[in-house]
Amino acid sequence: MANNRPNSIFKRRKMIVIAVITACFGFALGATEWAQADSPTAPALSISTNTAPQQALVALPDFTPIIDRYGPAVVNISSTTNKVIHQQNNPFPPNSPFYQFFHHFMPPGQNGPGPQQHEKIQSLGSGFIISPDGYIVTAGHVVRGANHIVVTLTNHHAYPAKLIGLSVRYDTALLKIDAKNLPTAPLGNSDDLKVGQWLLAVGAPFGFYNTVTQGVVSAMNRPLPDDEYIPFIQSDVPINPGNSGGPLFNMKGQVVGINDQIYTNSGGYMGLSFSIPINTVMRVVQDFKNHKAIQFGYLGVEVQDVTPQMAQALRLKEPVGALIASVMPGSPAAKAGIRPGDVIVTYNNNPVYNVGQLPPMVGNTVPGTRVKVGILHRGTAETKEVLVTALPKNMAEQTSSQVPTSPAKVGKVSRMGIHVQSLTPIIEKRLDVHHGVVVVGVGEGAAAEAGIMPGMIIQQIDQRDVNSPAELERIVAGLPANQPIPLLVRQGKASVYVVVTLPKK
């Protein structure tokens, strides 16, 4: 057995050597065959080719017809704005801890702002021609405050432009250049857009003129916090600074929106683009061309979202609609019998799923129109007919959250952990309120957990009006424990519903 082991190893090595020799021999034979194939007497190698046109395996949209036909209607817009800068003689701003230190060393008369300097700020945007005689639509922020506007066509002809009209609420502007027989872009119907449809954007991102990008509709009627009157088209079309004001085309080559803004953390495109629907744009543009003042529909309510907890407190089946926190006295809503605590679920036969959908619907309603408003009043469905009026021009916003106090009877609501006092004539006049109690002290308990703070006015609890501390204490005493209860509070001139959960007695 001891002699067999070395022999077996040797045999394996021998087999390996033979295998290597065989492989080398085979390679040599293969090389000989290739050499023969390359020789003049060898037959030529035949390669099969098919020159017939092949059909695409995947059908993708071809955007070239849109660009060839309507691309010349897209323009580049450059604007110049003069900005006044006040030079500070003191090198530090007034809120700096070093400001006062240098203030004492400045010569008399040089402690205030220094001389003015004018700085020119240039910006780039896009737009599109809507009529052969030179009317051009763009985004309002592209030309807002501009002293000089220049429009450049795709043939590189440049024209000074006149601003015909600009709406900040709709972020839309209408320009006019002195030219004729210009190419135009046809307008579509943005109400016909569906999620998933292809879109095409043309503009000048970062100054790169006539750039084309594509994507699909991601969502419709998307509300944004700073533009409550615009039901945005959300898409994944790549747009960047400089695209603003450019057209958004559908596959028919029709303009269905103007590119307006993006959601970004970096300043560049991150997959969320927002465009103003062309139907909204043209409503403003027609008023500009007719030299009419732009009017917005007015309902006269303050609304908030219906959270799942609030829906439970209001005894609703699902958290949908816009919860009315307050109704302006004498407003269209007040005249129609709409009250705080009602939930708007339809407007003019269109569903209202969340609070962001309602302002664009109301704002785009022509004043003088009668609309049907579907509400839930204490969970019961009702329909109110409202005569929508124009938004008052003198509506002022109240930013103060402080309520003036004066001697009044103070009551304690132990179950909520608060001290309240009745309204005084000063409070009623200052805040234009006519019922409720003022919170003057908050301890540990249900009110503190709900976010109630001193200075707030409690107007309702469980959708029942509160007129005195004694009435609030009486209502609270009869409410169930460990269940969400709607509580209407007012801070400054803004009303909002919160949810409070009361402990056991």
Where exactly are the structural domains of the chain? 62-102+112-294, 297-390, 410-501
Nearest to 135 by CA among 194, 75, 203: 75
Name the band, by pLDDT with cuts 50, 70 and 90, for residue 190.
very high
422 is catalytic: no
pLDDT at position 25 is 42
Catalytic residue among 126, 171, 275, 342: 171
**CA atoms of 173 and 126, how far apart (whole Å):** 12
Is the dihedral angle over the CA atoms 221, 225, 230, 235 positive or is it negative? negative
- Reply yes or no on whether the pLDDT at 213 is more than 60: yes
CA angle in degrees (0–180, nearest 5) for 179-184-185: 150
pTM above 0.85, yes or no: no
Could you tell me the pLDDT band of residue 347, with boundaries at 50, 70 and 90?
Answer: very high
CB neighbour list of residue 303: distance below 8 Å, 6 or more residues apart = 322, 323, 324, 325, 344, 355, 358
Give the model's pLDDT for residue 112: 52
Which of the residues 244, 275, 331, 495 is marked catalytic? 244
DSSP output for 243-305:
-TT-EEE-TTS-EEEEEEEE--SSSS--S-EEEEEHHHHHHHHHHHHTT-----EE--EEEEE
Of the pLDDT bands very low, low, confident and very high (cuts 50, 70, 90), residue 33 is very low
**Interval 371-380 mean pLDDT:** 92
Adjacent-strand bridge partners of 119: 83
Q: Average the pLDDT over 275-286 and give the result.
A: 93
Residue 98, token pair as written in the block:
């070093």
Token couple for 412: 């304690």
Q: Who has greater pLDDT, 82 or 151?
A: 151
Report how far apart, in Å, the C-alpha atoms of 159 and of each of 78, 139, 277, 406 are.
11, 18, 27, 64
Distance CA 464, CA 452 (A): 18
Span 275-287, average pLDDT: 93
Give strand pairing partners of 421: 410, 438
CA-to-CA distance for 470 and 409, rounded, in angstroms? 10
Identify the pLDDT of residue 36.
Answer: 40
452 contact partners, CB below 8 Å, separation of at least 6: 416, 418, 439, 442, 458, 487, 489, 498, 500
Mean pLDDT of 45-63: 68
> For residue 179, what are its two tokens?
């030219």
Domain topology for 297-390: Pdz3 Domain (2.30.42)
Report the percentage of the chain scoring pLDDT > 90.
44
Its sign, for the CA torsion 403, 409, 415, 418, is positive
What's the chain's average pLDDT? 81
pLDDT for 117 equals 61
Is the pLDDT confidence value at 110 over 60? no
Return the higher-pLDDT residue of 263 and 99: 263
Q: Which tens digit of pLDDT belongs to each residue from 219-275?
A: 999 888 778 889 999 999 999 989 999 999 999 999 999 999 988 887 778 889 999
Q: Does domain 62-102+112-294 have CATH number 2.40.10.120?
A: yes
Contacting residues for 117 by C-beta, under 8 A, at least 6 apart: 84, 85, 86, 87
Asked whether residue 18 carries a pLDDT value surpassing 60, the answer given is no
Question: Domain 410-501: which topology?
Answer: Pdz3 Domain (2.30.42)
In 131-182 the beta strands, taken as DSSP E runs, fall at 135-139, 148-152, 158-160, 162-167, 172-176
The pLDDT assigned to 298 comes to: 92
Options 141, 167, 227, 342, the catalytic residue: 141
DSSP calls for 108-136:
TT-SSEEEEEEEEEEEEEEEEE-STTSEE
Q: Give CA separation, 412 vs 416, 424, 435, 474, in Å.
A: 9, 18, 18, 11
What average pLDDT does this structure show over 185-209? 94
Q: Which of 409, 157, 385, 169 is nearest to 283 (CA)?
A: 169
Q: Which residue has the tokens 């709709």?
A: 170
Is the pLDDT at 145 greater than 90, yes or no? no
More confident residue, 389 or 27: 389
CA atoms of 324 and 344, how far apart (whole Å): 7
Q: Does 171 participate in catalysis according to the annotation?
A: yes
| pLDDT tens string 302-315 | 899 898 999 888 88
Do domains 297-390 and 410-501 share one topology? The answer is: yes
Catalytic-residue membership of 244: yes
> Please, which residues bridge with residue 350 across strands?
347
∠ CA 84-88-94, rounded to 5°: 110
**Average of per-residue pLDDT across 18-23:** 42
- pLDDT at 229 (0 to 100): 87
